């Protein structure tokens, strides 16, 4: 019997983020912490074109039990779990500097104005937040590639997915500490899925 799959993505470099904290943390995730699951780690280029052309394919290829998308935010000082993604008003250039979503709208297919993950973000924050490793909930994922990815993925399946923003490296957390936080999020989220999935 094949292992069930957890898909975790981080973003590649862009702007001042020559080393993207999201991908640095994702790369450090350890398969041994996810007994019975095959861990797939995938780097996402910071382009709208890549997201449009590949996210649905990743879902189809891996049929994941759970998906965690991770991005970096210079405004974050805690591990920030996003509780929604918006479809419209994407007006910033991507890492290529030339491509904007058509009509500033996310997703080639129709979708709701706002998408919500079915996994309860508030419960995860309440479970995990401590004085030494802070977790917070957010309702503003930034209307850039992070939110664009989150919406696109939610448009495929909103029942087994989360998005989290991490701060830049060492502001205040190391890549190792961020990987620890992501591991905790995954385990907490899996507990919310149906028993036959966990």
Query: What would the CATH number be for the domain defined by 4-197?
Result: 3.40.630.20
pTM for the model: 0.94
Active-site residues, by number, are 82, 146, 165
d(CA 96, CA 184): 33
Q: Domains of the chain: which residue ranges?
A: 4-197
Q: pLDDT tens track of the chain, all 198 residues? A: 356 999 999 999 887 778 899 999 999 999 888 988 999 999 999 999 999 999 999 999 999 999 999 999 999 999 999 999 999 988 888 998 877 777 778 766 678 999 999 999 999 999 999 999 999 999 999 999 999 999 999 999 999 999 999 999 999 999 999 999 999 999 999 999 986 654
């Amino acid at each position: 019997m094949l292992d069930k799959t957890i898909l975790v993505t981080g973003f590649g470099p862009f702007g001042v983020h020559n080393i993207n904290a999201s991908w640095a943390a994702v790369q450090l995730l350890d398969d041994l912490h996810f007994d019975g699951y095959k861990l797939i780690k995938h780097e996402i280029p910071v382009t709208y074109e890549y997201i449009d052309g590949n996210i649905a394919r990743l879902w189809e290829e891996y049929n994941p039990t759970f998906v965690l998308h991770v991005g970096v935010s210079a405004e974050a000082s805690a591990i920030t779990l996003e509780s929604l993604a918006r479809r419209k008003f994407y007006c910033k250039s991507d890492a290529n500097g030339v491509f904007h979503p058509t009509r500033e709208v996310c997703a080639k297919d129709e979708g709701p104005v706002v998408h919500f993950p079915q996994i309860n973000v508030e419960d995860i924050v309440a479970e995990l937040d401590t004085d030494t490793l802070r977790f917070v909930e957010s309702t503003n994922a930034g209307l850039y590639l992070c939110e664009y990815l989150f919406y696109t993925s939610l448009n495929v399946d909103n029942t087994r997915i989360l998005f989290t923003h991490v701060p830049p490296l060492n502001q205040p957390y190391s890549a190792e500490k961020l990987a620890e936080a992501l591991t905790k999020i995954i385990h907490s989220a899996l507990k919310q899925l149906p028993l036959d999935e966990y």
